[in-house]
């Protein structure tokens, strides 16, 4: 599986802050912040707070899902994207990410990246 290249990751705090100031598109679990950039590539930043996903295993799994969908999606216009988990996961399952939530998050990502 190919890795996400370093040039495709939002690393500068100024770029992330600038992107987070834009209006977000919300789904059930995720918020998407988008801002066009002057580069020839799209970049992604991830915000998966410990407050919303207690276990490191779950935070890392969500990040892997986001990176996978981003890597496999052709984004037409160079854009900076920040994906933020805005709802705590595992309300009914002792704070653990379950298969049903993972599938929901995956479908939200696919719908967002393929349609918009």
* SS3 (DSSP) at 44: strand
pLDDT tens track for 71-95:
888 777 899 999 999 999 887 777 7
Instruction: Decide which of 113 and 83 is more confident.
Output: 83
Residue 1 forms part of a structural domain: no
pTM for this prediction: 0.87
Residue 95 forms part of a structural domain: yes
Residue 32 host element (H or E): strand 30-36
Host domain of residue 42: 6-115
Q: Any idea what DSSP says for residue 46?
A: E
pLDDT tens track for 10-51:
989 999 999 999 999 999 999 999 999 998 999 999 999 999
pLDDT at site 94: 78
Specify the pairing of strand 30-36 against strand 24-26: antiparallel
Q: What is the CATH number of the domain that holds 95?
A: 3.30.230.10
Residue 104 host element (H or E): helix 99-115
Q: Which two tokens stand for residue 9?
A: 């990751």
> Domains in the chain: how many in total?
1
pLDDT at site 1: 59
């Amino acid at each position: 599986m190919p890795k996400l290249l370093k040039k495709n990751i939002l690393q500068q705090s100024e770029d992330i802050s600038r992107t987070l100031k834009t209006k977000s598109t919300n789904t059930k679990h995720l918020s998407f912040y988008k801002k066009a950039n002057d580069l020839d590539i799209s970049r992604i930043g991830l915000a998966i707070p410990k407050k919303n996903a207690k276990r490191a295993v779950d935070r890392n799994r969500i990040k892997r899902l986001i990176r996978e969908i981003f890597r496999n999606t052709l984004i037409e216009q160079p854009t900076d994207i920040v994906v933020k988990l805005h709802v705590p996961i595992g309300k009914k399952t002792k704070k653990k990410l379950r298969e049903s939530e993972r599938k929901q998050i995956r479908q939200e990502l696919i719908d967002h990246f393929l349609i918009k």
